[in-house]
Amino acid sequence: MGGQVWRLAAVTVTVAATALTASCGYAAAIYAAEVSADQVEGGWTSKAGTSLTFHADHTFTSEHFDTLPVASECSDPTALASGSWAFYAPTQPIRTPDETVTRGTELALTFSGGDCEVTAYFFNDEADPVMCPTDDPDDGCRSDDYLKQVADRP
Range list of H helices, the chain: 2-24, 27-31, 37-40
Give the model's pLDDT for residue 6: 45
Amino acid at 126: E
Within 10 angstroms of residue 122's Cβ, the number of other Cβ atoms is: 25
**Region 52-61 average pLDDT:** 98
Compute the distance between CA of residue 140 and CA of residue 73 in angstroms, rounded to an integer: 16
pLDDT tens-digit readout, 33-49: 999 999 999 999 999 99
Share the mean pLDDT of the chain. 83
The alpha carbon torsion through 129, 133, 135, 137 (nearest 10 deg) reads -20
pLDDT tens-digit readout, 58-69: 999 999 999 999
Cα–Cα–Cα angle for 9, 26, 105, rounded to 5 degrees: 165
Q: What's the whole-model pTM score?
A: 0.78
pLDDT tens-digit readout, 70-82: 999 898 888 899 9
Q: What single-letter DSSP state applies at residue 89?
A: P
